[in-house]
Structure 1
Amino acid sequence: MNPAPSHVASRRDKLLILLTVCLAAVLLPLALSGGAVATPAIGRDLGGSPASLTWVTNAYMLSFGSLLMAAGALADQFGRKRLFVIGLGGFIVSSFAISLAPSVFWLDILRAIQGIVSAASLAAGSAALAQEFDGHARTRAFSMLGTSFGIGLAFGPLMAGTLIEYFGWRSLFITTGAIAAVAFMFGVPRMRESRDPNAAGLDYPGTVTFSATLVLFTTAIIQAPESGWGSPLIVGLLAASVVTLVAFIMVETRARRPMLDLSLFKYVRFIGVQILPLGTCYSYILLVVMLPLRLIGAEGMSEMDSGLLMIALSAPMLVVPIAVASLTRWASPGVLSGLGFLIAAAGLYWLSLVDFSASKTALLMPMLIIGIGTGMPWGLMDGLSVSVVPNDRAGMASGIFGTTRVAGEGTGLAIGTAILAALANTSLAHRVPEGGPELSARVAEAAQRLTNGDIAAAAAALPEVSRHALSLSYADAFVGLLHVLIVITLLSAFATFAFLSRTRTQGDGFERDEKGVEAVTRA
C-alpha cells in the first residue's frame, strides 16, 4: 500500500485535533466575557439578588481556576483523550442546560459545573497537543492555542452582544454549546489516548483544601456588601478560608508529590512571575467583565454596540503578544512586561478622565492603550513562568503559574466588584438624608444593583434618589475603582522591574550544582 495516503490522513487528523482544541480555547474566554455581557439581560429576565448575579461570572472563574491543576493530574492518570471527552462533552451539556435555567440560582450552579468541565477540557486538550506535535510544529500549535484565546477575548463580547440583542441571552449558551458539539464531532474521533505511566494520581487533600480556600474567600468578598463586613457570616467565612489555607500549606509541604510544589517559591524571580497575571487581572480582566455592565446597564448601550466598543480593549491581544516577543532580542521580557504595565496604567488614567455620558468614541483610545499595555506582559508571562526556574522544574512551575493566573482572576473579580459596591455605597450615602438601618440597607442594595449595571432596580430600591443622581454615583464609584486599578497596575510594574528586569531566557543563571541554585535563590 502506498504510504502517502496514510501520511496525509495522519496530518489531516492532527490538524483536526488542533482545530478542536483551539475551538475549545475560543469558547473558554467566550464563556467568561459572554457571561458578563449577558448578566444585565439575565437579571431583567430571572431577577435575583445582586450577589447571585455576581456569581454568574465568578462561579465559572472560581471552579475553573481552583481545579485546573487537578484536571491536569487526572488527565495524566486516566487518559488525556478520556478527560478531554468528559470536559468538552460536559461543556456541551452544561451550555444547553444553562440556556434552560429557570432561575439565577440554578444558572449559577450550572456555571460552576461549566467551569469544572472547562478546566478538564483545557488541561487535557493542551496535553493532547503536546502528544501530537513535536519541535517547531509544537511551538506553532501552542501559538495557535494562545491566538485562539485572544480571538475569544477580542470578539467574545461582540458575538455575545449580537446574540443577546437579537435572540436573547439564552441563545448565547445554545450557540456555544453548538460550536463545542461541532468540535467534538470532528476532532475527538481522531484523538489518540495517552497516559503518564509514572502519574501518582490526584493530590486529593491539596485539591480539597486549595479549592475550599478559594471558595470561602470569594464567597465572603461577594457576600460582604450585602451582609456587612462585620457580620458573623462574613467573619466566619474569612476565618475559615485562613484555616483551610494553613491546612493547604501544611498538606503540600508534607506530601511526597504535592499538587503545588511550594519549594519553588524560594526563587525570588519565580515569585515575581506570579505578579504578572495578577497585574493583568486588575488592569484588563476586570474591565472585560465590568465595562460591559456599565455600558449596557448604566449608559443604556445595546449589547451589540457594547460588544463592538469592547473590541478596542481586546483586539490588541491578537497582535501585541506576538509583536512583543520579537523585542526580546533587544530587551529582557521582565523590562518589556514592566513597560507594558506602565502603558496600561496610563490608559487607565486616561479612561478615568473620560465622560461616559458623552460620545462613546472618546473611550476608544484609552481602551486601546490599556489593551496594548496589557498585551505586552500577556504575551511574555507564560515563557517567563518556566524561564526563572531550573529546567527540570519547568512543568510544575507552569502548573503553579496557570493556577495563580486563573484563580487570581476569579478572586480579583470578586475583590473588584466589592470595591465598586463599597464606593457606590459611599457615594449614595451622601445623596440621601440621614436615616436609620432600613435606609442604610436600601442604600446598600441600590449600590449593589448599580455594581451590576441595573439602574432600574437601584431606583426601585432607593426612590429618594433620582436616576440622574444614581448615574452620577455610579460614575463616581467607577472612577474610584479605576484609581485603585491604576495603583495596583503601577505596583505591578515596579515589582516586575525589581524582580524580573534581568530575566532573559530559560535556565539563565541556573547552575546544576547545589551552590548555583543557592546563589540564584539569594539573587
Structure 2
Amino acid sequence: MTSKLRLSHAAGTLIVSSVTTFLLPLDYTVASVALRDIHRDFPVGFSDQQWVINGYTMAFAALLMAGGGLADLLGRRKVFLSGLALFTAASLLAGLAPAMLWLNLGRVAQGIGAAGMFSSSLALLVQEFTGPRRAHAFAVFGVASGLGASLGPFIGGLAVDLGGWRWAFLLNVPFGIAMLVLGLMRTRDSHDPQATRLDLKGLVLFSGAVLLTVHALVTAPQTGWTSPTTLATLAAAAVLTLVFVPVELRQPYPLIDLRLFTDRTFLGASLAPLVLSIAFWGLFLYTPLYFQGVLGYSPLQAGMAMLPFAVPLFGAGPLGARLAHRISSRALLGTGQLLVAAGATLLACAPLHGDWTSYAIGGLVSGLGTGLINGEMSNVALSIVPAARSGMASGINSTMRIVGMNAGFGGIGAVLAMAVTDDLTARTNRLHGLHHNLHTLATDVATGNLNGTAATVPATLREGFRTAAAHAFATGMRSAFTVGACVALLGAATSFTLIRPPETDTTWEPGDTPQPAETALSGIPTPGR
C-alpha cells in the first residue's frame, strides 16, 4: 500500500512538473509570434512592445536563485504551488489586459511566478525519484522543456490565427488550474533542515547582477553593443558579481555555495545548459523570422516549418535516459553538443534562398542532440549535490538555461545584424537614389520585417531593395548558424574535458573543504550508472 502511495505521488509530481515546465519556455517564444497582432490593438512604440518579451524574461532570470533558496528554506511544494498560482493569475491578467501597461505588468508577474515554479520543480523530482527512475524522470522533464520552447511558434501561430493574440496567454489558465489542483493532491513537501534563513545579501547582489546582464543582452541589439548604456549596464553587473563572490564565501549558508564549482563535473554540467541555450535556442528563435520575412510564411506556417527542430525531442529524451545507463555522462553530454554543432553546420550550408526543406535535416540533427541531453544535464548537476540543497542546485541549473537563452538571443542577434548590415550596404550601394540611413534599414531587416522596411524606401527602388534585403537576411542567418556551430563545438570540448567518470561514490556536503581541481570530488553518484 505504501509503495502504491509513493508511486502515485511520484507520478503526480512528474506530471505536474512536466506540464508546467512545458508552459514556461512556451511563454517565452509564443509572445514573439503575437507581437504583430498586439501592436494592432495597442499601437505603442517598439520598446514598449519588447517589454512583452523582456518583462517576462528578466523577472524569470533574475529571481530563479531566489526561488531555489526559498524552496530550500520554506519548502519546495509551497514555493512551486505559489509560483504556479501567480503564473496562472498573471496569464489571465495578460490575456484580458485593457492596455499595454497591464499586459506588461501581467508578463512581469508571469516571470516571477515562473521563477518559483521552475526553480523548485527539479527539486520535487529529486525528492520522488532515485536510481534509473530519476534518469527517466529527468528525461521526461527535458522533453517537456524542449517541446515548450520549440513548439512555441507553432502553438502561438495557431492561437493567434484562430482566436487572436489574447489566447497566446489565456491558454495557460486551464492548464494552470488543472495542475494546481493535481499539485495540491499529489505532491509532497520537503525542505533543507539546515536552512534557517535566506541569504538576503547574496540574493540582492546575484539577482541584481543577473537582471542587469539580461537587460543588457536583450536591449543591446537596439541600443548598440558599444553604446554607453549597454557598457554601463554590463559594468554594473560585473561590479555586483565581484562583490557577490566574497560575500558568499563568508556566508555559513550561502545562496550559491561557490565551492561547488571547484568540482569539475559540476562545472561542466552547469556550462552545458548555457552552451545549449546559446547554440540551439538562440538560433531557434531567429529561424522563424527567415520563414516569415524571406519566404513570406504566415505565423502558423512558420511555426509548422519549425517542427523538424521539435520532432526529435519526442524520442530523443527517452533515448538519452537509456543511454545514460550505458555510457558515461561525459560521452553523452559531449556527443549531444557535437550533434548540435553538426546540425548548425548543415543549416549554415543550406542554400541562401532555400525553402523550409533546406533547413529540415539540420533542424532534425540539432533537435536530436538537444533532446538527448536536455534532461541529463540537470540530472548530472543535481546528482552531485545532496537532496537537502537541491533547490539551490536547481536554481543554478535553471539560471544557466535562461541566461544562456538570453545570451543566445542577444549574441546571435548581434551577429545577424552585423552580417545583414555588411551585405545590405554592399548591395544597396548599387541602388542609386537610396538616401536612407542604412544602419536603421539593416536593423529593421534583421528583425525579419523585410516588407515593412521595403515600404519605407522610394517606390522605384522597392523591388530592388526587397531582393537585396532577402539576400542580406539569408547571409546573416548563415553567419549566425556558423557561430552557433562553433559555440556547440566549444561546449562539447568543455564537457569532454571537465566531466569525469564516477571514480568515487562521494557527494559534496555543506561545510566540506574545497579541494584542488586535480583532486576535487568529481564522481557522479547517479544510481545505476
TM-score by length of 2: 0.84
Which one of the candidate residues 149, 156, 165 is aligned to 2:161?
165
1:489 corresponds to which residue? 488
From 501, 504, 512, the equivalent of 1:503 is 501
Alpha-carbon separation, structure 1, partners of 2:430 and 2:152: 44
Give the equivalent residue in structure 2 for 1:90.
86
> 1: distance between equivalents of 2:375 and 2:232?
39
Give me the whole-angstrom Cα distance separating, in 2, the residues matched to 1:363 and 1:342: 18
User: Could you say which residue in structure 2 is the equivalent of 1:294?
Assistant: 290
Q: Superposed, which structure 2 residues align to 1:26-175 within 5 Å?
A: 26-43=22-39, 46-101=42-97, 107-130=103-126, 141-175=137-171
The aligned residue for residue 376 of structure 1 is: 372
Alignment correspondent of 1:285: 281
Aligned to 2:197, the other structure's residue is in SS state coil
Deviation at 1:174, TM superposition (A): 1.0
Q: What per-residue deviation string (whole Å, max 9, x for no partner) do you get for residues 496-522 of structure 1?
A: 22223x434774799999798774239
| Conserved 8 A contact 2:338-2:489 | yes
Distance 1:509 1:93 in 2: 40
Q: How far does the alpha carbon of each residue in 1:46-98 deviate from its partner, in whole angstroms, 9 at most, with x for none? A: 45555554544343333223322211222333344433332111111211222
Q: Which residue of 1 aligns with 2:473?
A: 474
User: Is 2:135–2:379's contact at 8 Å kept on the other side of the alignment?
Assistant: no
Question: Which residue of structure 1 lines up, in the alignment, with residue 18 of structure 2?
Answer: 22
Once the two structures are superposed, residues 194-246 of structure 1 have per-residue CA deviations (whole angstroms, 9 ceiling, x without a partner) of 54443233222222222222222232333334334443322322221221121
Query: 2:418 is aligned with what amino acid?
Result: A
Which residue is 2:525 aligned to?
Answer: none
Residue by residue, what CA displacement relative to the aligned partner does 1:340-396 show, whole Å, maximum 9, x if unpaired? 222222221211232364432222111101111233332432233245679998775
Letter in 2 for 1:457: G
Check if 1:385 corresponds to 2:392.
Answer: no
Q: Which has the higher helix share?
A: 1
Q: Give the counterpart letter for 1:491 in structure 2.
A: L
SS of 1:355 mapped into structure 2: coil
Alpha-carbon distance, 1:312 to partner:
1.0
CA distance in 2, matches of 1:356, 1:102: 42
How far has the Cα of 1:472 moved from its partner?
A: 1.8
> How many residue pairs are counted as aligned between the two chains?
515
Q: Is the 8 A contact 1:95 1:114 kept in 2?
A: yes
CA RMSD of aligned residues (A): 3.7
Question: Letter of the aligned partner of 1:503 in structure 2?
Answer: P
Give the drift of 1:173: 0.8
Instruction: For residue 127 of structure 1, report the CA deviation from its aligned partner.
Output: 4.2
Range moving further from structure 2, 139-148 or 465-474:
139-148
Letter in 1 for 2:492: A
Judge which range, 87-96 or 102-111, deviates more: 102-111
Match of residue 452, structure 2, among 435, 451, 457:
457
Gap change, CA 1:478 and 1:256, over 3 Å in 2: same
State which drifts further: 506-515 or 368-377: 506-515
The amino acid of 2:400's aligned partner reads T
Once the 2 structures are TM-superposed, how far is the Cα of residue 320 of structure 1 from its aligned partner?
Answer: 1.5
Q: Sequence identity of aligned pairs in percent?
A: 31
CA 1:424/1:27 → structure 2, altered by over 3 Å: closer, same or farther? same
Structure 1 match to 2:527: none
Equivalent position amino acid for 1:485 in 2: G
Name the CA distance, whole Å, in 2 between partners of 1:265 and 1:9: 37
Counterpart position of 1:405? 401
8 Å Cα contact 1:216/1:240 also seen in 2: yes
Given that residues 389 and 507 in structure 1 are in contact (C-alpha distance below 8 angstroms), is that contact kept between their aligned partners in structure 2? no
More deviation, 303-312/39-48: 39-48
> What's the secondary structure of 1:521's corresponding residue?
coil
- Tell me if structure 2 keeps the 8 A contact 1:40–1:454: no
Summarize deviations over 1:17-61 as a string: whole Å, max 9, x none: 543333212211221232233344445554555555454434333
- 2-structure distance, mates of 1:428, 1:302: 24
CA distance in 2 between partners of 1:253 and 1:513 (Å):
13
Q: List aligned pairs for 1:117-266, cutoff 5 A.
A: 117-130=113-126, 141-189=137-185, 191=187, 194-266=190-262
Opposite residue 487 of structure 2, the aligned amino acid is I
Q: Secondary structure at the match of 1:169?
A: coil
Q: In structure 2, do the counterparts of structure 1 residues 515 and 115 end up closer, same or farther at CA, with 3 Å as the change threshold?
A: closer
Counterpart pick for 1:322 among 318, 325, 332: 318
How far 1:280 moved relative to its partner? 0.9
- Cα distance in 1 for partners of 2:5, 2:383 equals 36
CA–CA separation in structure 2 for the residues paired with 1:173 and 1:268: 41
Question: Partner of 2:341 in structure 1?
Answer: 345
Q: Is 369-378 or 124-133 further displaced after alignment? A: 124-133
Partner of 1:312: 308
CA contact (8 A) 1:65 1:410 kept: no
Unaligned 5+ runs, structure 2: 523-529
Q: Read off the aligned partner of 1:172 and give its amino acid letter.
A: A
Q: Would the aligned equivalents of 2:9 and 2:188 in 1 still touch at CA under 8 Å?
A: no
Shift of 1:294: 2.7
CA distance in 2, matches of 1:214, 1:159: 29
Q: TM-score normalized by structure 1?
A: 0.85
Give, in angstroms, the shift of residue 493 of structure 1.
Answer: 1.9
Over 3 Å counting, the alpha-carbon distance change for 1:507 and 1:300 in structure 2 is farther
Unpaired stretches in structure 1, ≥5 consecutive residues: none
Note if contact 1:62-1:411 (Cα within 8 Å) is conserved in structure 2. no
Per the TM alignment, residue 478 of structure 1 is displaced from its structure 2 partner at its CA by 1.4
Distance between the aligned counterparts of 1:12 and 1:509, measured in 2? 29
